[in-house]
Structure 1
């Protein structure tokens, strides 16, 4: 009996061929899967880059809305710094004249005493003004930066105060109330936390600006409940109807006039919060106001700063 006539040999060959076909199919599938994984990773990287670009665009758009106010904040200390420098220049000239004339005639003691007393105050005021300008510039630079660093322990109360300071020019006559409790630190990307707080607080300000028949108020409350830290921002602004509330996290959806909003702010906020294990809940009623509640997980290190 030849091999071709042996049923066992025929079955063996048939199985061998089938196994080779499966191996070739598996190899081809593995290669396709690898190529698709590479393509998927490229798309993920592209989406992340686009997200960072959108975040930066939203930051710059928001900074543009407060540019005039910030310029006013800088101009105030600049004005008295320039005035003080002019006075200091005059005093220096007077002192030089007194020194040159000291050998020939008595120094004007009354004028000298006035200069001595005023020099200290002028110097102190000038330093305070310069520190104020430095503080404003540092806040702007920190907020406008592209922050791609990882998570770190962040004091939420400090971040809230930072956001309120940088956007203070937007508030106008809006009353900002703070109810801040001592809470543990959270684990968050500092730059992205600024982005979240900016959108929530700026939206509250703009909602209040849309209402003129009553005094405007925003309440920022920070509390802890078990393993969660709750940030609540409440305003008595224009509020939202059910349709707008249901779409507020949709990308590029906005009710603001052209040129005043990109429509991506809250969708970015939602993505950032989800990436950090946070949740957000929004309640709103048209013509009555809005309440935004964000729940942050506590930093496992449990480090706490007393308020």
Structure 2
């Protein structure tokens, strides 16, 4: 009798242990199950917090989070070193989207200028946004009236290694001006304005949206003059560099500017990487162009962001997702 009892106890323990190791029952349909949706995160590289790229990039992130998050996409805009740094970070996979100038994107893709021997072949275009205008600034009393008058003068061409410096040298070369016949200074925007104010240079290049605060401040204390980039120089540039567009700086943009001035511009643009899924870039492109009013609320430069001009000056291959959107809209 005692052996039978021991056997029964052991058998019961084995049965209970076996039941405990079985998979738990499937919860009933009325039992809520906690799930974590898969989210594809996009980092948007912008520029310095005081610049134009940062508020516009932040507004783009907000648009994505409001209108594309439901499809499993979210975005964060971060400050950065702007165009050149952004192109390099896209290439290394440190971000998914970036704001940069279309000339810098062109250099990166083709491995020239500051990207010589280090091309970024995975960079792809989404849209061009607004013009970054080449402004050749001088003072009225300098007597400089045409781009050809710069020969033999002291000309600031931008900070060392900057996109501005590259643009300035290309434009001057088209006019027959180089370091053999003209003195070049390498100064940033503020330094250009200060040097003009102090009379240590004759003219300087500034590449930015208009009006530019550095030029506005200079015009408040000096009579400024913006030198025209004539049609023949634009045509020469366009033959060699597809990213340039023509731009008219309107009269009254700056104090004392009493007539329209022809110039050229590069374009701020939104770029991405080749490997970002087509469907995601399609949704991002669509959301941005359906809500450009929210971009304008962030910065007035966004008034120039339109679907009609989204491919103006596009200097690198389009991402397939953006291409799909533009085909639907009949732009390509």
TM-score range, shorter chain: under 0.3
Question: Which structure's residues are more often strand, by fraction?
Answer: 2
Structure showing greater radius of gyration is: 1
Question: Which structure's residues are more often helix, by fraction?
Answer: 1
